Amino acid sequence: MSSDPRDPDAAQWGAMNDLDKIEWMVETHGWAIEPVAARTDTDPPLAGYVYTIGYPEAFGFPEVVLFGLTPSMARGLFDLVADLLRGGTEIPLGVELTGLFDGEQRCVFAPLAAEVTVELLPTAVAWRNGRPFDAVQLLWPDRNGFLPTEAGFDRRLLMAQPVVADLG
């Protein structure tokens, strides 16, 4: 473990820096999650989000970004997706899927452009020492079953779940 200048006791007690923490999670669980706080210094502000680190290596599937949920809620969905992938389920990208969520709600694993991936997943980029990788945004429905790309989606949730994926 390396020392962290933000933690004066790191050298003495072996505190983990961010990349050590990610490496430990990947070694013990097969993959990691990284929460990112909301950004109010951008226009428009960007909601907080959580993403995976290690999905491509563990499952041959892109990293997954999830907006609008707490890290613990996101972890539950990431565990669900990991279990499906581990069991051999092939999850298509860029198309609506039914059955991942309770009540036959729809979702989409929408690909991210490379520049968006680099901007939004900096710890995953650092963990891979800059090697390229793919990522997707998991788009989830509102309480009425509409996805954020649909006219009926609850507009109050658009700030919580912005669409940053490449849907073109």
**Structural domain containing residue 105:** 33-157
CA atoms within 13 A on the CB side of 13: 7
User: For the chain, what is the mean pLDDT?
Assistant: 91
Domain assignment present for residue 10? The answer is no
Residue 12 belongs to some domain of the structure = no
Adjacent-strand bridge partners of 66: 50
pTM: 0.88
Residue 166 lies in a domain: no
More confident: 166 or 163: 163
Q: How many CB atoms lie within 10 A of CB 8?
A: 10
What is the mean predicted confidence (pLDDT) over 1-20? 63
Tell me what percent of the residues of the chain surpass a pLDDT of 70: 90
Give the pLDDT score at 1: 47
**What digits encode the pLDDT tens for the residues 109-118?**
999 999 999 9
Dist. CA 74–CA 65, nearest whole Å: 9
Residue 16, in any domain of the structure: no
Return the H-helix or E-strand segment holding 33. strand 32-36
What does the block give as tokens for 163? 């669409």
Number of alpha carbons in the 13 Å side-chain half-sphere of residue 50: 15
Length of the chain (residues): 168
pLDDT band for position 103 (50/70/90)?
Answer: confident
Count up the domains in the chain and report the number. 1
Would you state the structure tokens that stand for residue 71, as one six-digit string?
């890290």
Q: How far apart are CA 40 and CA 72, in angstroms?
A: 22
Residue 100 is predicted with a pLDDT of 85
In a domain, 28, yes or no: no
76 lies in some domain: yes
> What letter would DSSP give residue 61?
-
Does residue 164 lie in a domain region?
no
Any domain includes 149: yes
